[in-house]
Amino acid sequence: MAKKFTAAAVQAAPVFMDKQSTVEKCCALIREAASHGAKLIVFPETFIPAYPSWSPDFSERSGHWIHSWVDYYRNSVTIPGEDTDKIADAAREAGAYVVVGVSELDARWQGTLYNTALFIDASGRIMGKHRKLMPTFHERLYWGQGDGSHLKVFETELGRLGGLICYEHRMTLPKYALFTKGEQIHCALWPGWPSAPDFDLRENMDITSRALSLEGQTFVVLSSMYFSAEMVPDSFHYKNKAQWHSCGGSGIISPLGGYLAGPVYDQETIVYADIDLSLIPMAKAIFDAMGHYSRWDVININLNEQELGPTDPGRAAANIRTLLAELKESLRQLSANPNAISPAELHEARSLALELANLTQAELEK
């Protein structure tokens, strides 16, 4: 494991709704970052083909939005596919790990898109992906929900690498799940979405990304998009009906919560900083979220890592595991103080046991 290496947070604009050209730009930026010694290169949320800042106008016919969605669909990325092959080749030639945000088309069902972070190693191998668990606000018009099978931390020669997308950084439990997997380097993908007079996303990105570094004692490579209305073709129906300015705000944060580089706003650039993993024990000396400063006996989480689909073979197994865990905990509490068992507690334990037995029997009879 490399103790020290250079990371790059790419702050750039896609070629709007042009997958092929944006993939080419992505590969060029990988080569540029690698020429500066970067071994980890992180791109913004849905860099390919663009962040969908527009939404339907319900006072008009739906045809305009449907056509825009189909165009977005056609420019989304299949994993793996020809587009990811090109990015993987660029990563291999650069000898760098690459994390890039894409709108992913699920090749199996061909009707659902996902907001996805794609992880590629320095040999050009796709390590995996993370699908955003909960699309935010209008994003639910475009993307489906991810599941726990993609909430991963990857063992790499640089360290243990994970990531989340945008407002997932405000979701306590997914962050904690990555901490339990020993994440050391966190990739934070943001769209640099427009601000409003009473709401500034710059503060959201800054606060939540730095908070994660403090909570998990991890490095954070924050990559946020820069974009402006001038980059949208005049022919696009929603050009004058959406806020397009994405401010950026990319930077690299230490496990002590301070910026090693950035944040940088309102320009296309690449932010570089050296990551030295020997800083992590320093951050954990006083506060270790997964060790001496944790109380798993008081608070812990249940993580369902089953991949869900239309036939959903994993849900019954996941339910059985959940019920079994609840029953074990109930029995542990009862056995800890057998002289103070109430009728309600006995009833709860009996109900859990019966539910588990019925569910298990149903599975055995299939």
Tens-digit pLDDT profile for residues 289-341: 888 888 888 888 888 888 877 665 555 555 666 766 766 777 777 677 766 66
Cis upstream peptide for 49 (omega within 30°): yes
Sign of the C-alpha dihedral computed for residues 12, 16, 17 and 19 taken in this order: negative
Whether 12 contacts 68, CB under 8 Å? no
> Which of the residues 26, 39, 45, 187 is marked catalytic?
45
Give the pLDDT of residue 351.
66
66-84 pLDDT, tens digit per residue, is 888 899 999 999 999 999 9
Q: How many CB atoms lie within 10 A of CB 111?
A: 9
> Which of the residues 132, 175, 183, 187 is marked catalytic?
132
Q: What is the mean pLDDT of each run of 10 residues along the chain (366 residues)?
A: 89 96 98 98 97 78 82 95 97 98 90 95 96 90 90 95 96 94 97 70 88 96 93 86 85 97 94 97 90 86 79 58 69 69 67 66 58
Give the pLDDT of residue 118.
98
Whether 305 contacts 149, CB under 8 Å? yes
> Which of the residues 26, 166, 187, 247 is marked catalytic?
166
What angle is formed at CA 14 by the lines to CA 32 and CA 47, rounded to 5 degrees? 90
What tokens were used for 169? 């950084």
Quick one: residue 287, left, alpha or beta (phi over 0 = left, psi -120 to 50 = alpha)?
A: beta
Give the pLDDT of residue 310.
65
Distance between CA atoms of residues 126 and 117, nearest Å: 11
Distance between CA atoms of residues 103 and 20, nearest Å: 13
Please tell me the pTM assigned to this model.
0.83
Active site residue 104: no
DSSP secondary-structure letter at 192?
-
Active site residue 326: no
Give the pLDDT of residue 315.
53
Which segments of 64-184 are extended strands (E)? 97-105, 113-120, 126-131, 154-155, 160-165
For 60, counting Cβ atoms within 10 Å of its Cβ (0-12 exposed, 13-18 middle, 19+ buried), the class is: exposed
The alpha carbons of the chain give a radius of gyration, in whole angstroms, of 23
Beta bridge partners of 128: 119
Which segments of 138-233 are extended strands (E)? 154-155, 160-165, 185-190, 219-224, 226-227
Give the pLDDT of residue 44.
98
Helix axes 313-336, 343-364, angle to 10 degrees: 150
Closest CA to 42 of 55, 31, 30, 50: 30
Closest CA to 300 of 328, 320, 280, 338: 328
Closest CA to 33 of 41, 25, 45, 43: 41
Whether 31 contacts 90, CB under 8 Å? yes
Give the pLDDT of residue 146.
93
Residue recorded with tokens 């896609």: 14
- 3-class secondary-structure state, position 42: strand
Give the pLDDT of residue 352.
65
Beta bridge partners of 294: none
Beta bridge partners of 277: none
Active site residue 175: no
- 3-class secondary-structure state, position 339: helix
